[in-house]
């Protein structure tokens, strides 16, 4: 883990919700939206699927939780999730877990080594998406791809959406968090606030400020939607 998880005291008798972000800025944006709701415990576990899985697993070993949420900024596939919008995952997909061949990519599923897809908890995901829509926030439901390398060309972006037609966004942590949650039999959600389009590397196309505001809005609605 590149950053130590920051655990917050929770006085409720109910098991809390665990939210794993990559960096402190994402955690703080969510905390602003959550407004001190002590049902939530947040940890910034570092960038990438390995740090995310290790951070989530450590938090889950230390206390009991009822739900795990992977949240942060992400890239939106063009025409599906614009910058500033939110994506609520229907599934977390390890998009680069497999083997490259001269004829194309073979997923870990096709190789017979497990599954590259973990489904999000459908009812809560739908409720959160509906609440965001009702609040007037642009939101898309679709698969969130977990990659170890940020996509940096139009060719790679096209290849990903052709191979995974339901892809709405990509980020680097969701599948790692989902593996840790699945290891404990816990439901999982992923929320991505879109900071940039997936495609040719262009730092000027990034809008971290709007993405952090969107993450804050998602935090505020989580307090209403979760039981
Ligand atoms: O320098 C670049 O060109 C560049 C482009 C996109 C993302 C990065 C990062 O280092 C971000 C890593 C961090 O943010 C999430 N994130 C945000 N946008 C994306 C994306 O388009 N693809 C993958 N991850 C993204 C990610 O979850 C990490 O936590 C640098």
Structure confidence by residue, pLDDT tens digits, 194-203: 999 999 999 9
Distance 115 CA to ligand 1 centre (A): 24
The pLDDT score that the predictor gives to residue 218 is 98
For residue 144, is pLDDT > 70?
yes
Give the CA diameter of the chain.
56
Local structure of residue 204 (DSSP, 8 states): G
- Average pLDDT of the residues of the chain: 95
Report, as an integer, the average pLDDT of 169-177: 98
Distance 154 CA to ligand 1 centre (A): 15
Report how far residue 127's alpha carbon sits from residue 38's, in angstroms, rounded to the nearest whole number.
Answer: 21
The pLDDT score that the predictor gives to residue 8 is 43
Third-level CATH fold of 17-225: Rossmann fold (3.40.50)
Report, as an integer, the average pLDDT of 91-105: 97
Task: Tell me which residue has tokens 């407004």.
Answer: 35
Ligand 1 pocket test: which of 150, 161, 205 has the largest number of ligand atoms within 8 Å of its C-beta? 150
Report how far residue 2's alpha carbon sits from residue 45's, in angstroms, rounded to the nearest whole number.
Answer: 7
The pLDDT score that the predictor gives to residue 76 is 98
For residue 9, is pLDDT > 80?
no
Counting residues of the chain whose pLDDT is more than 70, the rounded percentage is: 94
Q: How many residues does the chain have?
A: 227
For residue 212, is pLDDT > 70?
yes
The pLDDT score that the predictor gives to residue 89 is 98
Distance 49 CA to ligand 1 centre (A): 12
ipTM of this complex prediction, to 2 decimal places? 0.96
For residue 4, is pLDDT > 50?
no
Report how far residue 41's alpha carbon sits from residue 221's, in angstroms, rounded to the nearest whole number.
Answer: 16
- The half-sphere exposure of 103 on its side-chain side, counting CA atoms within 13 A, is 2
User: What are the pocket residues of ligand 1 if the criterion is a CB atom closer than 6 Å to any ligand atom?
Assistant: 22, 47, 72-75, 147, 150-151, 170-173, 195-196, 198, 201, 203
If residue 218 lies in a helix (H) or strand (E), which one and from where to where? helix 208-225
Cβ atoms of 60 and 134 within 8 Å: the answer is no
Residue nearest to atom 5 of ligand 1 (CA): 150
Ligand 1 pocket test: which of 172, 193, 198 has the largest number of ligand atoms within 8 Å of its C-beta? 172
Distance of CA 194 to the CA centre of its chain: 11
Ligand 1 atom nearest to 22, measured from its CA: 29
Distance 199 CA to ligand 1 centre (A): 11
pLDDT band at 5 (very low <50, low <70, confident <90, very high): very low
For residue 1, is pLDDT > 70?
no
- Residues 24-81 have pLDDT tens digits of 999 999 999 999 999 999 999 999 999 999 999 999 999 999 999 999 999 999 999 9
pLDDT band at 2 (very low <50, low <70, confident <90, very high): very low
């Amino acid at each position: 883990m590149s950053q130590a998880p920051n655990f917050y005291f929770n006085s409720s008798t109910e098991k809390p919700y665990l939210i794993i972000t990559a960096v402190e800025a994402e955690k703080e944006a969510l905390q602003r939206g959550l407004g001190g709701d002590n049902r939530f415990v947040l940890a910034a576990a570092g960038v990438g699927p390995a740090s995310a899985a290790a951070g989530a697993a450590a938090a889950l070993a230390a206390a009991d939780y009822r739900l795990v949420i992977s949240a942060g900024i992400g890239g939106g596939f063009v025409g599906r999730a614009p910058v500033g919008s939110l994506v609520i995952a229907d599934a977390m997909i390890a998009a680069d877990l497999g083997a490259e061949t001269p004829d194309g990519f073979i997923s870990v599923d096709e190789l017979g080594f497990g599954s590259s897809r973990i489904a999000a908890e459908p009812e809560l995901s739908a409720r959160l998406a509906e609440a965001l829509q009702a609040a007037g926030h642009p939101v898309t439901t679709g698969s969130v791809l977990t990659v170890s390398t940020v996509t940096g060309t139009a060719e790679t972006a096209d290849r990903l959406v052709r191979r995974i037609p339901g892809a709405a966004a990509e980020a680097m942590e969701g599948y790692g968090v989902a593996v840790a949650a699945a290891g404990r039999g816990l439901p999982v959600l992923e929320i991505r606030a879109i900071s940039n389009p997936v495609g040719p590397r262009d730092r000027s196309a990034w809008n971290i400020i709007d993405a952090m505001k969107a993450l804050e809005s998602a935090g505020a609605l989580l307090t209403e939607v979760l039981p």
